[in-house]
């Protein structure tokens, strides 16, 4: 199997992992707000772990021998799209509960290129 097919298969698998439902919130809680915030923080931590795994996977793909600039463009594009979508889904779920979640962009090196990826944070005021 050639390298482009392997990369394509791996990217599709990554995409499928991303669209699988994550922990969903109920619309109404009987808990007080602090408990809701703690649950959101736990879900943010899980989302950040998922994003970190995707970054490591992209770094692995980018470091495969024979990876072309075109392959690298595709790897980075898919990574940014998938992680942005995952982060936005978490932000939307938290917003429905009245909790603010923000992106806090971090710099990663993927295939020798600088890429900004958006892990999440629940700001404390």
In the predicted structure, residue 119 carries a pLDDT above the cut 70: yes
pLDDT, residue 1, reads 55
Residues 37, 106: contact at Cβ < 8 Å? no
pLDDT, residue 100, reads 92
In the predicted structure, residue 25 carries a pLDDT above the cut 60: no
pLDDT, tens digit, for every residue of 45-75?
Answer: 999 999 999 999 999 999 999 999 999 999 9
Query: H-helix or E-strand containing 113?
Result: strand 113-117
Both tokens assigned to 60: 């692995």
């Amino acid at each position: 199997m050639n390298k482009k097919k392997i990369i394509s298969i791996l990217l599709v698998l990554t995409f499928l992992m991303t669209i699988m439902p994550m922990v969903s919130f109920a619309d109404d809680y009987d808990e007080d707000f602090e408990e809701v915030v703690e649950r959101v923080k736990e879900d943010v931590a899980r989302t950040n772990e998922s994003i970190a795994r995707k970054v490591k996977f992209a770094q692995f793909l980018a470091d495969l021998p024979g990876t072309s600039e075109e392959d690298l463009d595709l790897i980075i594009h898919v990574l940014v799209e998938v992680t942005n979508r995952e982060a936005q889904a978490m932000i939307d779920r938290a917003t429905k509960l009245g909790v603010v979640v923000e992106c806090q962009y971090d710099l990663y090196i993927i295939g020798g290129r600088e890429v900004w990826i958006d892990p999440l944070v629940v700001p404390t005021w």
